[in-house]
Chain A
Amino acid sequence: MEKKILITIDGKEIAAKPGQTILESATENGIFIPTLCHYSRTTNVGACRVCVVEVEKARSLIASCCMPVSPGMVIRTDTKQVRDAQKMIVELLWSSGDHNCLTCEQNGQCELQNLIYWLKIEEPRFLINSPGIALENSNTMIQRDLNKCVLCGRCIRACNEIQVNEVLDFSMRGSRAKVGPAFDADYIDSSCVFCGECLQVCPTGAITYKQAKFAGRPWEVDKVKTTCTYCGVGCQMDLFVHEGKIVKVSGNREHGKPNEGSLCVKGRFGMDFIAHPDRLQKPLIRRSKNEDLKEASWEEAYQFVADKLTAAKKASGADSIAGLSSARCTNEENYLFQKFMRAVIGTNNVDHCARL
C-alpha cells in the first residue's frame, strides 16, 4: 500500500495519493473546481488561473492544477475570494477576444461559455476589445479564428506532448501573444500534418473543424462510436451524424485503447468518400463480353452470379473458381466469404491482399 496524504477540501477529509495535485484529488472525490487551460493528457501549466483555491496559511490563492497535495492541507474551493478571482479572470478573457456565440461552431460546447454561465456573469465589466486578427481560411480542414483564442496553450501542448509533431508554439509577447506554427505561418504553409489534435483540445471556437461549420449544432448531432477504416491501428472514433450525413469526426472521448482519443489526418479528415457521388448504388451486369455494364436488380444479379458460378463449377470443377476476400471488410464478412468459397463452391482458392 502506498502511503496516503490526509487533506481537507471544503470540510471533507480526503486521503490523497502522494504526488497528486489538489485538482486531481478534488476531482477524484467529486468536488468540482472549474478549469480552462488544464488538459489531463498534457503537463500542468497553470496558465489561466481559473482553478484557483484558498489554501490555509498560503500567502495568496493557489492554482490547484499545479499544486501537489501535502499533509494537513486545508483547502476551500468555493469562498467569495475564490469566486471573485475566477470572475475577474474570466471577464478579462471574455473582453480580450471576440466571443460571438451566435455564429460560433462551439456554441453549446465552449468551455469559456460554460464558465461564464457557471459563474453567473451577466456581462464583462471591461470594454470588449477584439484583437482583430484575420480568420485563417486557407485550408479545407481546420479553421482558425485567433480572436477567440484564450491563450490556454492546449493546442501547443497537444501538438508537442500528445502528437509530438512539434509544429505549434507561442509567438510574440504580452497582449500581442499568439499561438501557431513558426513564423506565424498558416497551417497549410507549415509542417503541420493535419492530425487535428489541436482542434479537438481547443476549449473555445478558436480552432474548429472547418467542414462541420453550419452542418449541425452540437445538440443536434448524434455521435456513433466506431473503429477507423484506414490502417491497422484501429483507432476508436466518434462519427458525428446530422440528418443522415457524417458531418465531423473526432477521436473517441473516452480516451480508451488503442489511440486514447488521438487520430491522424486520414481518420479525421478522410471520411468524405462515404457520401461521395461516385459511390456505387445499383448492381451492374455485363451480359456478354462485348456489351457494356448495365444496371440490374439484386434478384437479377444474384441469379446471374449463381447461374454462372454453378455452370463454371459443373464444367471445369470447383478449383476453376477463386475468390479474394478483403482486409478492408469486417471479420463477419471475411468469415462468410471463406465459408462461401469452401462450403458452397468447394475450393480453398481464397486469399486477400495481406501481402501487398
Chain B
Amino acid sequence: MAGLAAAFGSGAMTNSIEELEYTNLILATGTNTTENHPVIGMKIKRAVRQHGTKLIVIDPRKIDLVKYADIWLCQKPGTDVAVFNGLMNVIIAEGLYAKQYVEERTEGFEALKATVEKYTPEYVENISSVPADDLRRAARLYAKANKASIIYAMGLTQHISGTDNVKTIANLAMLCGNVGIEGGGVNPLRGQNNVQGACDMGGLPNVYPAYQQVANEDSRKKFEAAWGANLSPKPGLTLMEIMNAAGSGQVKALYIMGENPLMSDPDLHHVKEELKKLDLLIVQDIFFTETAQIADVVLPSASFAEKDGTFTNTERRVQRIRKAVAAPGEAKPDWEIIGGIATQMGYPMQYSSAQQIFEEITSVTPSYAGITYRRIEKEGLQWPCPTNDHRGTKFLHKDRFSRGRGLFHAIEFIPPAELPDADFPLILSTGRVIYHYHTGTMTRRSQGPSERCPESLVEINPFDADKLGISEGQMVKVTSRRGTLQARAQITGKSPQGAIFMNFHFAEAAVNLLTNPVLDPTGKIPEYKVCAVKIEAA
C-alpha cells in the first residue's frame, strides 16, 4: 500500500472488479487468483475465454492462470524489480510509451529512464532467467493494449523489496497511460475480507480514519474534539515492531482482537518467546487459537454471521453484514466488548447498534461521509463517496492523481535477503491453497474444505524430487536456519526447479517456523516468498 500511496497518493485498488472482465489486457503478477480470490479468478478466465482479453502472467509458479495466459514469464523468486524494469526498458527503447500522458500527468520520468536503461532483456535474463525474447513480447503486448489492468497480491509484496515491487508496477502502468482509465489501473487484491476497511478505519499506527495523519496537528485537533480526549502526536509501532518491543520489555500489555500472530507471523519460535514476556496479553477471538492459549485474558466474540456491521471489499465497496443466528453462549460482538472495557475504564462507549457506530464513522471519515446503512441496503457503495447524493467511485485518479502528478520511482533491483546456498539449496515460498483460509481456524473446522485438503503438502518440482530421491506422498523434513517441520511431498510441475511451496494453514506443519522475519523497510512486510531451506526424507 505504501508503494501505491507514494506513486499515486492513494493506497487502494484503483479500479473495480467488474472492469477486469471487459479490459483489453490483464497483467497478473504475484497473485494465484483462481485459488486465493476464486471469484475474481473466474472473471479473468471469462475475460480470456469469452471477451478476447489478453493475459500476461508473471509468476515463478505454474499457477492455474498460466493455462489461460498468452505469455507466462517465469522469473526466479524475488527478481520482480528486474523483470519490470526490463519491460520498461523495452517499452522506452522502442518508443511504445504514452508520451503525452507521461508529460502531462506524471513526474520523475527522466530518472526512471536513466535507471531502466541498463535493464536490457539480456541483462534481465541473467538475473531472472526470463528469456529475453519473451520479455520483449510481453512488453510489446502490454504497451500496445488500449487499456490494461495490472493485478497483484502478496506474491509481489511479501519480499524485502515489496514496496519497491509495487512502485515498479505503478511505474509500468503510468508509463503506458493505464492509470485513471476504466479497465486499467494497478489493483492490489486484498487477501482478507476487511483488510481495506481496517486500514480505512485507522487500524494503523500513523493514521486516523481515512488516512488522516496522527502527526498532523489539524487532524489531531479534529479527532480530539470529536472524541473528547487528548491524543498522542507520536506515530505508534507497527505489528512487527510491537512484537519486538514485547520481547525487549518496552511493550508490557497487548490487546489482540481477531488475530492469530502465533500462526501468521514469521519465525514463530521467536514470536512465542516475545509474547510470553508480556505482563498482560488479552486475546479476543471466536476460537481458542494458538495465541489465545498463552493469553492472560480470553474474550469470546461473535462471528460475522452473529452480528451487524459493514466490511469494505478490495475494490473499496462498503457492504453490509447482517445477523443471521445468535452467538454461542455468552459470546458478544467485538464492538460491544471494546465498549465494555472502555466504559469500565471511565470512558463511556455505549452504542445501541453497529449502525450508530457507523454514523459516528461517517462524521469523521470524509471518504465515507455519504454512505448510510439505508443507501447500502441492496448494493454496496465504493469510496470515495463524500456526500449523500454521490454515487461512489468506480475508478480512482481520473484526470488527476490523488497527489497531483503521478510520481515515477527509479528503482534498482536488490536480491532477496536469504538466497539458497550449499547448506540450504532450495527456495521456500509460502501462500494459501483454495480450500483453506489463512491460519485455518475456520476452514479446518469445516467438513467440506478439510475433506478436499486434509493436510499440508510440500510442492516440489519433479527434477528436484528425483535428485533428492523423494517420491510422491512421502513424508519429508523441511529445515531452515530457524526451524524444522515435517509434511507430505507432492511432486508437481507447478513448482519451478529449485523452489518449493508450502501453505500456512496447518498448525501441525506451521510453515512460519521456517520463514525469515526480515522486513521490507517501508511496508514492514516479512519476506514470506523467499527463504532458503533444505529438504530430506523424514
Known: A233-B37, A285-B296, A309-B345. A340 touches B338 (CB 8 A): yes
Contact (Cβ within 8 A) A353 B344 = no
Known: A193-B434, A344-B345. A234 touches B203 (CB 8 A): no
6 sampled A-B residue pairs with Cβ under 8 A? A164-B46, A274-B325, A285-B296, A286-B296, A328-B193, A353-B239
Question: Contact check: which of A233, A284, A310 meets B17 at CB < 8 Å?
Answer: A233
Contact (Cβ within 8 A) A333 B334 = yes
Map CB proximity to B onto A322-340 as digits: 1 under 8 Å, 0 otherwise.
1111111111111111111
Question: Contact check: which of B39, B193, B344 meets A264 at CB < 8 Å?
Answer: B39
A205 to B214, CA, bound (A): 58
B140: chain A residues at CB < 8 Å are none
B298: chain A residues at CB < 8 Å are 280, 283-285, 293
Asked whether A258 is an interface residue with its Cβ less than 8 Å from the other chain, the reply is yes
Name the prevailing secondary structure of the A interface residues. mixed
> In the complex, which residue of chain A has the Cβ closest to the Cβ of B230?
A346
Binding site for B on A (CB under 8 A): 139-141, 161-164, 188, 193-195, 211, 222, 224-236, 239, 241, 244-246, 254, 256-259, 262-266, 269-276, 278-286, 289, 293, 298, 301-306, 308-310, 312, 316, 318-344, 346-356
Contact (Cβ within 8 A) B311 A265 = no
Contact (Cβ within 8 A) A322 B251 = yes
Asked whether B366 is an interface residue with its Cβ less than 8 Å from the other chain, the reply is no
Contact (Cβ within 8 A) A273 B232 = no
Contact (Cβ within 8 A) B303 A229 = yes
A184 to B194, CA, bound (A): 40
Asked whether B310 is an interface residue with its Cβ less than 8 Å from the other chain, the reply is yes
Contact (Cβ within 8 A) A338 B347 = no
Give min CB distance, B11 to chain A, whole Å: 10
- Interface range on chain B: under 10, 10 to 19, 20 to 34, or 35 or more? 35 or more
Contact (Cβ within 8 A) A348 B199 = no
A101 to B234, CA, bound (A): 68
A355: chain B residues at CB < 8 Å are 157-158, 238-240, 523-526
| 18 further A-B pairs in the complex, CB-CB below 8 A; given A321-B252, A354-B199 | A162-B42, A225-B320, A232-B37, A232-B314, A234-B315, A239-B324, A270-B448, A283-B297, A298-B332, A305-B282, A305-B344, A323-B255, A326-B259, A328-B194, A331-B311, A332-B361, A335-B360, A336-B335
A231 to B190, CA, bound (A): 7
Known: A330-B310, A330-B335, A336-B339. A274 touches B434 (CB 8 A): no
Give min CB distance, A14 to chain B, whole Å: 29
B332: chain A residues at CB < 8 Å are 298
Give min CB distance, B111 to chain A, whole Å: 28
Give min CB distance, A180 to chain B, whole Å: 18
Contact (Cβ within 8 A) B257 A347 = no
A254: chain B residues at CB < 8 Å are 378
Contact (Cβ within 8 A) A271 B345 = no
Known: A323-B254, A349-B242. A232 touches B195 (CB 8 A): yes
A290 to B305, CA, bound (A): 36
A275 to B303, CA, bound (A): 10
A233 to B341, CA, bound (A): 32
Contact (Cβ within 8 A) B238 A306 = no
A350: chain B residues at CB < 8 Å are 202-205, 236
> In the complex, which residue of chain B has the Cβ closest to the Cβ of A285?
B297
A222 to B315, CA, bound (A): 29
Contact (Cβ within 8 A) B236 A278 = no
Give min CB distance, B337 to chain A, whole Å: 8
A140: chain B residues at CB < 8 Å are 447-448, 451
A157 to B257, CA, bound (A): 43
A304 to B535, CA, bound (A): 47
Contact (Cβ within 8 A) A234 B317 = yes
> In the complex, which residue of chain B has the Cβ closest to the Cβ of A233?
B39
Contact (Cβ within 8 A) A266 B449 = yes
> In the complex, which residue of chain A has the Cβ closest to the Cβ of B36?
A231
Contact (Cβ within 8 A) B205 A226 = no
Asked whether B468 is an interface residue with its Cβ less than 8 Å from the other chain, the reply is no
Give min CB distance, B159 to chain A, whole Å: 12
Asked whether B165 is an interface residue with its Cβ less than 8 Å from the other chain, the reply is no
The listed residue with most B CB atoms (<10 A of its CB), out of A164, A239, A320, is: A164
Asked whether B285 is an interface residue with its Cβ less than 8 Å from the other chain, the reply is yes
Question: Contact check: which of B285, B286, B288, B349 meets A336 at CB < 8 Å?
Answer: B349
Asked whether B313 is an interface residue with its Cβ less than 8 Å from the other chain, the reply is yes
Give min CB distance, A242 to chain B, whole Å: 10
Contact (Cβ within 8 A) B354 A330 = yes
A50 to B436, CA, bound (A): 42
Known: A274-B306, A324-B255. A241 touches B448 (CB 8 A): no
Asked whether B191 is an interface residue with its Cβ less than 8 Å from the other chain, the reply is yes
A221 to B466, CA, bound (A): 55
Asked whether B110 is an interface residue with its Cβ less than 8 Å from the other chain, the reply is no
A259 to B42, CA, bound (A): 10
The listed residue with most A CB atoms (<10 A of its CB), out of B191, B313, B324, B378, is: B324
Asked whether B261 is an interface residue with its Cβ less than 8 Å from the other chain, the reply is yes
Asked whether B265 is an interface residue with its Cβ less than 8 Å from the other chain, the reply is yes
Asked whether B132 is an interface residue with its Cβ less than 8 Å from the other chain, the reply is no
Contact (Cβ within 8 A) B264 A353 = yes
The listed residue with most A CB atoms (<10 A of its CB), out of B17, B39, B232, is: B39
Give min CB distance, B200 to chain A, whole Å: 7
B49: chain A residues at CB < 8 Å are 164
Interface residues of B in 417-465 (CB under 8 A from A): 434-437, 441-443, 445-449, 451-452
> In the complex, which residue of chain B has the Cβ closest to the Cβ of A43?
B50
Asked whether B185 is an interface residue with its Cβ less than 8 Å from the other chain, the reply is no
Asked whether B483 is an interface residue with its Cβ less than 8 Å from the other chain, the reply is no
Asked whether B307 is an interface residue with its Cβ less than 8 Å from the other chain, the reply is yes
Interface residues of B in 495-528 (CB under 8 A from A): 523-526, 528
